[in-house]
Structures are given as structure tokens and as C-alpha cells.
Structure 1
């Protein structure tokens, strides 16, 4: 583990020993991160005014910001998820086994179901639900097509690649 790990109001993040946190990433406050997850360079995971939960084998790629709402919900990110570079996840729920593209923005109360994909650059507005098997794109995002077998087969492959990459960075 590396990075900047800070308490907020006496609450220190709970991070599994197998997690890789890049030296320039920051994890603050009421954050729990599960096994074999990776938080890459330049990420901010700020659980100050509410909680953030990140499951196992999830990769949070470079420059991503994860935050919460004081008067709403925390941010909940499941297992086996790839979150692309520079994404913004704010007070939303991301179920296990989905894919979030680079520079996607998922706003308060939005929910991405397992087996769904949010395209690069998409803006998922507050309260929207991205259903299993759908690809959402655009700003504001909307469903544009059903996912193919090729799309769905890529999700776990990318997760495995990032688990291996994080292990290499840890020197394991």
C-alpha cells in the first residue's frame, strides 16, 4: 500500500492488505476497499461527508475522482469493475461486474447494474438507472444498444489484467 491515506474526523480508511494504491493517489475518511483492488495514479477517493465502499478486484484508473453527498447517499462500487481513466463517480451505485469508460461521469443517485456499460465521456445524470446488458453513451447519457458477447467477455479479462498489473507494481 502506498499513496496518501488520511483520516477525516478520526475515521481512517479500511484497506485490505492486498490493495495497490499508487503513490500519487489519495484515500480519505470513511472508505473501505476490498482485496486485490487497485487505485491508480492521481486518483482521489474522498469519503469525508459520507461513506465510500469499493469491492474486490476493482480497478480505479488514473485521475478518477470518487466522492459522496452529505445530504444523499454514499458511493458504492462492487466487485470486478473497471473504472476508466479520469472518471467521476459521485454518490452513486455501481454494481459488480460492469464497466465504466474513461471520463464518464456518474452523478448522485444514479445506479449502474451488473453487466452494464457506461461509455467513455458519458454523463449519467442524477437518479438514472443503467440496466443490465445496456450500453449508455452521450451527454446526457441514454441507452444506445445492447451489449454483445464480445463486450461482456472483455469485462472480466480487463479486471484480471489490472489485478496482475497491480501485483506487479506491488512486487508480488
Structure 2
């Protein structure tokens, strides 16, 4: 786990170093700091920042964090001994330029392009935070719900077609990551 990856900056801090599964793809340009764990077959795309300097970030299996996204967490505080770690389950899609901060995204959750999820917010299983939406602190999206707007509010329940679309997206990113890993290796040889 956590071999050197070309073009990726990994920085240990406070005695904690990133732990990246050997099968995960981390694109060049990413910065990964501190207590970060990335699971099997997950992918972190170009120019993402995952900074776990004050708490932890956990990313499950086959999840993807797409280009330019920022992932952070918050430390413990008086009255909040656990702080706000960022916990991402399995088969999660996080769209380009999203900002996810100290929240929980359950298995098969989806965060749309440019969306924001704040401390202690929860995105349930098979649920979607729409593109550009902002899920404010402590709000919870139930399983199979679509929320949108700023601040985000429930728009509707997701049907089977939407759920299948999200699952196809997960499969696409897991497969595409393998192609990008090979392309990066080839580019480095040239």
C-alpha cells in the first residue's frame, strides 16, 4: 500500500501518512496529505486535494473523486470530541470541482459537479446531491433522495433508472481509471 506515484504529492504530517491501496489510481497533480486512506480500485482524478491534517479521510472501494475536487475535515472541538472526519463509502461518485468537508457519503452516494457538502452532513445510500448544490452543516439526505439548490432541499425520490445510471458511472470510472493508469505509465516512459 502507498507506493510512490509519479506526479502525485503525498505528505505525511503529525505522524500520519497517506495509505493508498495498490489497485487505486491517483492521477498526476493530486496532493494527498496526512491521515488519508484510499480503498481498492478507487480513483482520485487530476488536480484533487485530499488534506487530512486535522482529522481523517477514508475512501472506500471503487469510489471516485473527480478532477479538481477538494476534500478536507475538521478537528475535535469543545463539545465535539470526534470532530468532523470525511468518510466516503464504497461505489461513491464525487463530480468534478466538488468540495466535500467533514461529511459522510454512504455507499453508492453521488455528489454532483461543483456541489458542496459541509461538516456532519450525510448523503445516504443511492442518494444524490445535485450539481452546484450546497448541503449545509448537519443536514442529511435520505437513501434514494435527490437534493438540490443552495441551501439544498429535497427535490424528489430517485427512480430505478437514476440509480442504475449512478451504478453505471461507478463502473465507468473504475474501468477508465485502468486506462488512465496505463496512459500515465506510458507517458512517463516516453
Please classify the TM superposition score into its range, dividing by the shorter chain length.
over 0.9
Structure ID, larger Rg: 2
- The equivalent residue for 1:99 is 110
**Matches for 1:17-166 after TM superposition, within 5 Å:** 17-71=22-76, 72-166=83-177
From 16, 29, 45, give the equivalent of 1:11: 16
Q: Secondary structure at the match of 1:35?
A: coil
> 1:93-133 deviations in whole A, cap 9, x for unaligned?
00011111001100011011101100000000000000011
Q: Give the gaps of 5 or more residues in structure 1.
A: none
Superposed CA RMSD: 1.1
Q: Give the gaps of 5 or more residues in structure 2.
A: 77-82, 184-190
In the alignment of these two chains, the number of paired residues is 172
- The equivalent residue for 2:80 is none
Where has structure 1 moved over 6 Å in runs of 4 or more? none
Deviation at 1:5, TM superposition (A): 1.0
- The equivalent residue for 2:187 is none
TM-score, normalised to structure 1, is 0.97
2:164 and 2:85 map into 1 onto residues whose CA distance is 30
TM-score, normalised to structure 2, is 0.88
1:85 and 1:171 map into 2 onto residues whose CA distance is 22
* Larger deviation, residues 120-129 vs 8-17: 8-17
Deviation at 1:170, TM superposition (A): 1.5
More strand by share: 1
- The equivalent residue for 1:167 is 178
